[in-house]
Structure 1
Amino acid sequence: MSLPPHKPTVLVVDDVPANLRLISELLQEHYQVRVATSGAQALRIVDRTIPDLILLDVMMPEMDGHEVCRRLKADPKTCDVPVLFLSARSQDEDECLGFALGASDYLNKPISPPILLARVQTQIRLKVATDQLRLQNTFLDQQVMARTRELQATHDVTILALASLAETRDNETGNHLRRTQHYVRALAEELRHHPRFSADLDEQSIELMFKSAPLHDIGKVGISDHILLKPGRFEPAEFEIMKTHAQLGYQALVHAEELLGAQVPFLRIAKEIALCHHEKWDGSGYPRGLVGDAIPVSARLMALADVYDAVISRRVYKSEMSHQTAAAIIYDGAGRHFDPDVVAAFKVLEEKFEQIARCFADTDSEEPK
């Protein structure tokens, strides 16, 4: 490996002028040489311009080479600059101390010109190679991060596109998807340190719940228009068909995984929400009649978010209602429809729910009253 085309900078630190002249004359053909006659001066120089290598005398007054090296290695800006100690001390313990402080090499005085040149050249080459590797790794890290962001964006767009398929079947729900995912995240953040929920609500899980929430009604794609868009109450047989959308949504996500030939981590919560957001705390919900803690946490949060938004929003079968009406329905459902602790979190977050509803209102007339 040859030296780089530009001349690397070597800082020589020694309190003896004759030593500085000798070393400078040896190095100046191949390197840009800077000199310092004290440790303090060396640190001031390095603070302005970081050299490629430092030749550092050990025995200097006021601040010795060991202290200078400690400070250089403690500073993130200079910790990677190779330091070669120069010393008349040649005992093993002296060299061991130098290496322990982070020196790259240790040269004994009086200096041997060929050895000095060879050692300096070796350390400069190592630094050049290390810097190139660091730059390459930084570039690769940036590429990986960019690709990860691209994949994440594709993932998010895919979720919203799938969810929108269901929402286009019911064009009066408007921003229902965006509101419910923000309700879910608000509830999750409020409950994340609760002893009953902390194991299920780490930062990653909360983010997955937020992004998966729009898929809760994906199964509506499989419901006939004459039922889905019916302006009045369902007949019993029609309601039984409508209830199948939970299972249909779950099966669609399972089928997607089967096509991929592997389970997809982010779909785990999406499947929970799609299948179980109509389950009720007392076991009277559907499709499986789950009771209490058997209902996944993500689905319990989605259940409250979905009911709240359904009440305050206009539907083909009803007009929008007030926040107060929605809150009363939720409080009345504590312990029957909803997990009581989730209802308690909603009570803390009532103002937040109203803010979300206003922020993502479909029209002025749909803002909570």
Structure 2
Amino acid sequence: MSDQSTILVVDDEDRNLRLMEAMLVPAGYHVLTAGDGEQALDLVSREPVDVILLDVMMPKMDGYDVTRQLKSDPETAIIPIVMVTALHAKEDRIRAIEAGADDFLTKPVDKTELRARVASLIKVKAYNDHMRNYQKELESEVARRTRDLEQAFARIKSVSLEAIYRLTRAAEYKDEDTGAHIQRMSNYAAAISRKMGLGERVTESILYATPMHDIGKIGIPDRILLKPGKLDPDEWAVMQQHTIIGARILEGSTTGIIRLGETVALTHHEKWDGSGYPKRLKGKQIPLVGRIVAIADVFDALTSKRPYKEAFSLERSYEIIRQGRGTHFDPAVVDVFFSAQTDILKIKDAFHDDADFINQAPMIIQNQNRRK
């Protein structure tokens, strides 16, 4: 029976059902019968059917209603439906077409015509089944390949971020900062971005670009970068050049993240009140990413131990950030920073310096004649 095509005959008169069976079974078809529309719908929901021969005039539910229900369901819409009717009016046929019928047979049914119509529609059904299966296989293959690409892309992004962290540590090795500092402050910046509602694509770009913030320190002489005491005015002027050097290292890229890194390197020491460097930008003249990275960088500097200082406590660090609201920092970014405290602290706990450090911190904001 698995090789037989199944024909469902629906008619409220038993003799019509028997007649159809007598014409179809000898031709090698498996025939199911239903005495009304409701029974037909129940059968189709349980049995695979290749063609439906459907009477129009039936009690409870006529052939038009049955056709509409079958054609509205994606699972049964491809089953060819032949309206078997004694109605000859053009309006009746138009109504059947509008309901979704695929063909017509006029009672009394001619055996030769019946078998020819059924054979033709079985080929149509077989083709439709093939196309549906092909589409499902294609969709499954596309979904599988998409998953593979997403996984490969995720691996590439992970490797890229690790490469950025490792390469930017070249500059940090000349300074007192650690790899954990790069990870913490880039994740702080991403957390602030996400809390500001900038979207995952922007947030991810900030996560990747932020580690390049101090790459320009590689161009600062060690005698200045590693000086344990206070920098004199000339040395401080040279120190400020790390922002410009960093931007020059990154300029001219066609890659969005590198271009964003150029902006971060150049502007993360600008201040809201215009007293920052290198260009003394003020307020919203400072790109948003620069304003975000500024607070992430300073917060990590405040809460981290360095050779020339101990760390401030969280309470003291928060106090300094609040004091910088509207002077050092964009007030809106400060507010978002505090609203993201839970995420910020999780990041702080996740990335530790190589050496243990205490929750006490530096004079970074108050003494800008330092390395930051």
* TM-score category (smaller protein): 0.7 to 0.9
From 175, 193, 196, the equivalent of 1:191 is 196
Distance in 2, Cα, partners of 1:52 & 1:224: 83
Check whether the contact 2:52–2:80 (CA below 8 A) recurs between aligned residues.
Answer: yes
Shift of residue 118, structure 1, vs aligned partner: 0.8
1:3 — aligned with what? none
- Mark the CA change 1:131 to 1:95 in structure 2 (over 3 Å): closer, same or farther: farther
Distance in 1, Cα, partners of 2:196 & 2:93: 58
From 12, 26, 37, the equivalent of 2:24 is 26
Worse overlay, 23-32 or 284-293: 23-32
Distance in 2, Cα, partners of 1:232 & 1:51: 88
- Mark the CA change 1:352 to 1:7 in structure 2 (over 3 Å): closer, same or farther: same
2:325 — aligned with what? 334
2:172 is paired with a residue whose SS is coil
Instruction: Check if 1:242 corresponds to 2:234.
Output: no
Distance in 2, Cα, partners of 1:41 & 1:126: 25
1:139 — aligned with what? 141
1:107 is paired with a residue whose SS is strand
1:198 — aligned with what? none
Check whether the contact 1:219–1:252 (CA below 8 A) recurs between aligned residues.
Answer: yes
Check whether the contact 2:10–2:40 (CA below 8 A) recurs between aligned residues.
Answer: no
The letter of the residue matching 1:109 is: T
1:319 — aligned with what? 310
Distance in 1, Cα, partners of 2:303 & 2:232: 24
Instruction: Check if 1:178 corresponds to 2:180.
Output: no
1:217 — aligned with what? 214
Shift of residue 19, structure 1, vs aligned partner: 5.0
The letter of the residue matching 2:214 is: D
2:363 — aligned with what? none
Shift of residue 341, structure 1, vs aligned partner: 1.1
1:289 — aligned with what? 280
Check whether the contact 1:59–1:87 (CA below 8 A) recurs between aligned residues.
Answer: no
Q: Deviations over 1:13-35 (max 9, x none)?
A: 51345555565663796776555
The letter of the residue matching 1:247 is: I
The letter of the residue matching 2:145 is: Q
Shift of residue 125, structure 1, vs aligned partner: 1.1
Distance in 2, Cα, partners of 1:33 & 1:219: 82
* RMSD of Structure 2 on Structure 1 (CA): 3.5
Q: Matched residue pairs, number?
A: 348
Instruction: Check if 1:12 corresponds to 2:8.
Output: yes
The letter of the residue matching 1:12 is: L
Give the number of the structure whose alpha-carbon radius of gyration is greater. 2
Q: Deviations over 1:270-291 (max 9, x none)?
A: 3332332222112222233221
Shift of residue 105, structure 1, vs aligned partner: 1.7
2:103 is paired with a residue whose SS is strand
TM-score by length of 1: 0.77
Shift of residue 168, structure 1, vs aligned partner: 4.9
Gaps of 5+ in 2: 361-372
Gaps of 5+ in 1: 1-5, 193-200, 258-262
